[in-house]
Amino acid sequence: MSSIDYEIKLLSKLVEVDTVSTTKVGYDKCASIIVDEAKKNSLDVEILNGEKAAKDGLSRPNVIVTLDSKSDVTLLLESHFDVVPPGEGWKCPPFKLTIEDGKAYGRGASDNKSGIAAALGAMRQLAKNENLDINIKLLASVDEEIGGTYGIDYVVSDCGVRGDAALVLDSGPERLFLGASGIIWAKILVEGKQGHAGYPFKAKNAIDESLRLISEFKSYKQQVERKNSILKAPPDSPRDHVWGRFNVTMIKAGETENIIPGTCEIRFDRRLLPEESVMEAEKELITFFDSAKKKSGCNASLKITNKFSGYLTSPDLVFVQTVSRMIEKTLGIALPMAGELGGNDGNFFAKHNIPVVCFGPIGTDTCYHGKDEFVHLKDLKNARDLVVNLGKVRREEIKP
């Protein structure tokens, strides 16, 4: 019998529920699975529903599972069960777990339902231990893929859930990650004049206007990419350190072939360094946009649609050294420390001064966010075993 039979069975149940963050149709069903598993294993559980803040009638059940050891020190674990849309072209059904050659395929198999399976599997084992010196609290959240406002941000900022340190399992197993990138998402609306394609001299093509503006942003992209973090980059990166990034990600214009569009919408993603101020980055962006609009002669407006800072945790903290030591105990090797190129919910802990690090089962080759997403079963096991090892440390190894 496999040592991770429980985790695989649970992961299968979770993957079978469609929890795409844009529709949220399966949120309640998936949350009920987590609640049932917690109760089966004598763990305390409650739901903090972010709909109370959103007030849009869409349920956002964040599940809080607690292993209470009557300690005054609590370790938070974070994972999320919302996923991105599966898309087309899968070799196996995206909402059915398929095991092949040491891999488990399915949407959310790695990002990040495997984190929930690993955490609950570990807490299930630890619940049998009567000599634990710390409490463990799993925050299984929603809406991470669309910013986390009514997920972990709601849980921590609105509901006041706290801990002495946090481990984000929404991460890879290649490094101990001490920080993650911040983001600014924005849209630019470029105005032209709609007209018939046979009479272009009577119109002003918003696409042509947009291309001039995008061309101006080449220098901004170069400016951003010159920024370097003090944190090392992940092992598959083209640079030694985490760096700033800017990408145009969406362009929308036009209705049909014979109509010259009067408006064009441009959307982009700006990735901040873990230690970079989002307020300063936003100010820098707006200043550049005003200059670029003037140079291009475009009639355009800019709107920030989402933003949050990254974070950077000091490697000198006792908690960081404890996690590093427990990773070495779990894997048999010591891992270097680095920063995440992507963002994650860790920033919501950091803004409340909760030390946070990241380690999890989302390997760089697992096709997360793409078709044929999978998790290596060995990484699922290692994530679980790390949590088991952390659960057995003394309180002073988390909070001196």
Sign of CA dihedral 84, 85, 87, 91: positive
Which residues are registered as beta bridge partners of 376?
A: 103
Last residue of a domain, one of 278, 293, 308: 308
Q: Cβ atoms within 10 A of the Cβ of 190, count?
A: 27
Domain that residue 336 falls in: 5-180+310-397
How many structural domains are present in the chain?
2
Cα-only R_g, the chain: 23
Greatest CA separation found in the chain?
A: 81
For 14-64, how does the pLDDT look when each residue is reduced to its tens digit (9 = 90+)?
999 999 999 999 999 999 999 999 999 999 999 999 999 999 999 999 999
Domain shared by 149 and 187, yes or no: no
Q: What is the pLDDT of residue 130?
A: 86
Q: What is the pLDDT of residue 1?
A: 36
Cβ(363)–Cβ(111) under 8 Å?
no
Domain shared by 214 and 276, yes or no: yes
Which residues are registered as beta bridge partners of 228?
A: 243
Res. 2 pLDDT band, cuts 50 70 90: low
For 260-316, how does the pLDDT look when each residue is reduced to its tens digit (9 = 90+)?
999 999 999 999 999 999 999 999 999 999 999 999 999 999 999 999 899 999 999
Burial 271-290 (b: 16+ CB within 10 A, else e): bbbbbbebeebbebbeebbe
Cβ(166)–Cβ(345) under 8 Å?
no
Which position has the token pair 């990034």?
245
Q: What is the CATH number of the domain that holds 350?
A: 3.40.630.10
Last residue of a domain, one of 308, 339, 364: 308
Q: What is the pLDDT of residue 281?
A: 97
What whole-number distance in Å separates Cα of residue 228 and Cα of residue 244? 7
What whole-number distance in Å separates Cα of residue 24 and Cα of residue 162? 26
What whole-number distance in Å separates Cα of residue 170 and Cα of residue 261? 41
For 41-52, how does the pLDDT look when each residue is reduced to its tens digit (9 = 90+)?
999 999 999 999
Counts for the chain of helices (H) and strands (E), in that order: 10, 20
Domain shared by 91 and 121, yes or no: yes
Cβ(62)–Cβ(158) under 8 Å?
no
Domain shared by 174 and 218, yes or no: no
Domain shared by 40 and 109, yes or no: yes
The burial of 308, by beta-carbon neighbours within 10 Å (0-12 exposed, 13-18 middle, 19 or more buried), is given as buried
What whole-number distance in Å separates Cα of residue 219 and Cα of residue 222? 5
Cβ(339)–Cβ(66) under 8 Å?
no
For 337-366, how does the pLDDT look when each residue is reduced to its tens digit (9 = 90+)?
999 999 899 999 999 999 999 999 999 999
Average confidence (pLDDT) over 135-156 = 96
Cβ(70)–Cβ(97) under 8 Å?
no
What whole-number distance in Å separates Cα of residue 14 and Cα of residue 96? 9
pTM, two decimal places: 0.92
What whole-number distance in Å separates Cα of residue 111 and Cα of residue 84? 9
pLDDT of 172 strictly over 50:
yes
The burial of 336, by beta-carbon neighbours within 10 Å (0-12 exposed, 13-18 middle, 19 or more buried), is given as exposed
Which position has the token pair 């206007």?
209
Domain shared by 301 and 338, yes or no: no
Domain shared by 206 and 127, yes or no: no
Domain shared by 262 and 321, yes or no: no
Query: Helix (H, G, I), strand (E, B), or coil: what is residue 312?
Result: strand
The token pair that represents 70 in the structure block:
């009557």
For 93-130, how does the pLDDT look when each residue is reduced to its tens digit (9 = 90+)?
999 999 999 999 999 999 999 999 999 999 999 999 88
Domain shared by 292 and 319, yes or no: no
**Distance from chain centroid for Cα 230:** 21
Q: How many residues does the chain have?
A: 400
Q: What is the CATH number of the domain that holds 251?
A: 3.30.70.360
According to DSSP H, which parts of the chain are helical?
Answer: 5-15, 27-40, 51-54, 113-126, 152-153, 206-225, 278-296, 318-331, 346-350, 377-391
Domain shared by 321 and 303, yes or no: no
DSSP 8-state symbol, 233: P
Last residue of a domain, one of 281, 308, 335: 308
For 189-244, how does the pLDDT look when each residue is reduced to its tens digit (9 = 90+)?
999 999 999 999 999 999 999 999 999 999 999 999 999 999 999 998 999 999 99
Q: What is the pLDDT of residue 5?
A: 97
Per DSSP, which regions of 7-118 are E strands? 44-49, 61-67, 74-80, 98-100, 103-105
Domain shared by 372 and 392, yes or no: yes
Domain shared by 295 and 373, yes or no: no
